[in-house]
Amino acid sequence: MTVEIRIQDDDCLDISGKFDVLDEDGNAYPHHGKLRLCRCGASKTKPYCDDTHVEINFESKVRA
């Protein structure tokens, strides 16, 4: 299965597929499906997005 990462304008990282999430100690947590990771740094549920970026008017338009 392919892993897809979408960088949303002024929003989070949307990741879908089958992959491992690694913590700072290198422990792997298998994940299958969709996951939203915080880019603004203000989420109360880091590393996951809780939509705080909307409240703080986070702006970022990344282009590859």
Coil, strand, or helix at residue 42? coil
Backbone phi, then psi, for 3, in 5-degree steps? -95, 130
What pLDDT score was predicted for residue 64? Answer: 72
The span from the CA of 4 to the CA of 51, in Å, is 20
> For residue 44, what pLDDT is reported?
97
What is the pLDDT tens value at each position of the chain, 64 positions in all? 699 999 989 999 999 999 999 999 999 999 999 999 999 999 999 999 999 999 999 999 988 7
User: Are 52 and 36 within 8 A, CB to CB?
Assistant: no
Q: Could you tell me if residue 55 is left (phi over 0), alpha (psi between -120 and 50 degrees) or otherwise beta?
A: alpha
Amino acid 32: pLDDT:
95
